[in-house]
Amino acid sequence: MKLTIETKRRIIRFTTVIGVIITIVGSIYISQSEYFQPDGGFSDFLRRLGFMGPIIFILVQISQIIYPIIPLGLTNVIGDLLFGHLWGFLFNTIGMIIGSSINFVIGARFGHAVIRAFISDDDYIKYMGIMNHGHRFKRLLRIGFLAPIFPDDIFCMIAGVSNMRFKQFIGMVIAYRPVSVFIYTYFTSNFIQVVFDYFS
């Protein structure tokens, strides 16, 4: 049975709500549990995994870029809490660049149908209206990549159906998205830690 666009949107909204709940509960547990402290049992577990630990996290991050069950960049925060600011940023950035590239290819391969499943009709019409307007679309991408409140992962798919070349797209991703990832993740993870320390 072929699902309608509206049914696909309902599924995405439902899984997003579930993802937010799981992430909030998980973040609270990670921040308060001694097991996840820098010298705790989880650090030993990661060391035993060796290079597979970061690879598993990067794969999760890539999946989040493609299909954001956990929204608002919260997996970036989890990576920061688990691996620290430097390594967390590196692993987040690698996953983000690979995931953004895959989203571009998905947009180019499957076209407008997949994009419409993730956004409303009004947003779809608005973004399509400026998609091929050269500088306006590039400016929209820059804003989306720098501001975490924008649906930047969807913008990657939209770029795939535009007349933008992949080389130009990936250059913008590398230039702008890591800045947003670092600032958002650093301040959010520190804010969460301060709040939990205050109430603990």
Range of the domain at 67: 5-199
Phi, psi of 192 (to 5 degrees): -60, -45
Q: What is the pTM of this model?
A: 0.77
Distance of CA 48 to the CA centre of its chain: 27
| pLDDT, tens digit, 9 for 90 and up, residues 24-79 | 676 667 666 666 665 666 667 766 777 888 888 898 888 878 776 665 567 787 78
Q: How far is CA 12 from CA 53, 102, 117, in A?
A: 28, 19, 8
> Residue 2 burial by CB count (10 A; 0-12/13-18/19+): exposed, middle or buried?
exposed
Q: How far is CA 42 from CA 52, 91, 117, in A?
A: 14, 17, 38
Q: How many domains does the structure of the chain reveal?
A: 1
Q: Are 94 and 58 in contact (CB under 8 A)?
A: yes
